[in-house]
Structure 1
């Protein structure tokens, strides 16, 4: 039974390493691609459009994220924030979680999870809904 446990742990670690390596490869490829192709340029109108925007005419909470990432890759954080402030505020938490997962996959040590009280998750969800509503209003600074 002990041997089975070691095989199981090794398989889980290999799976985690594969997931982390695949994700980092995809992120790197996407970053290189996005670095050279500006999604806002008229010549690059072949970039995929937001399905929600195409169907309703309203922006979703993720609209502008591609342009924001382009600006981040070119070291323009203020311009990136103008394209999608919610993404910019959420990105550090996503990066922290992914770096922790990668560290855990490499070292085999469990990632120290940060407990986020349910109140904060509900507050973030409410902020997401308000952001979604207000970014589609004609008033400054929310107007597209």
Structure 2
């Protein structure tokens, strides 16, 4: 008898997660593509920046996604390098998840343990937050 982990998915329930996640992501990106965050005040202001004068890790993230969706990769990287990297990683994980469901296999990130991924992303976020607020690496600021 064949191993059930490798049998094609038979129920529509298996597709629910990737489909709903894809639809939510597409909807969010459609809104960001349609509403230009380069216009001052169009998305509000960053509370951390207004209170502390420091750029938070998300500052420039909406501008980066907007630029990326309009094909301006250089401007996207200039707005928020970390957000572009996270978007690429998120897309890769979603594609892997969808492919796993289509093949009827369990979804696993074999190339990097989940805990390691979370710790690396958190450490990267903290490091990026500090470095983008230093004079030496000011080019990381939005």
1:115 alignment counterpart: 111
Instruction: Give the alignment partner of residue 68 of structure 1, picking from 64, 72, 76.
Output: 64
2:21 aligned with 1:23, yes or no?
yes
Question: How many Å separate the matches in 1 of 2:102 and 2:133?
Answer: 43
Answer with 130-139 or 117-126: which moved more. 117-126
Runs of at least 5 residues in structure 2 that lack an aligned partner in the other structure? 1-8
Greater helix share, structure number: 1
2:33 aligned with 1:35, yes or no?
yes
Displacement of 1:49: 3.4
TM-score using structure 1 length: 0.71
TM-score using structure 2 length: 0.72
Displacement of 1:122: 5.3
Runs of at least 5 residues in structure 1 that lack an aligned partner in the other structure? 1-8
> Aligned Cα RMSD in Å?
2.9
Higher relative contact order (CA 8 A, sep 6+): 2
1:79 alignment counterpart: 75
Number of matched residues?
Answer: 132
1:3 alignment counterpart: none
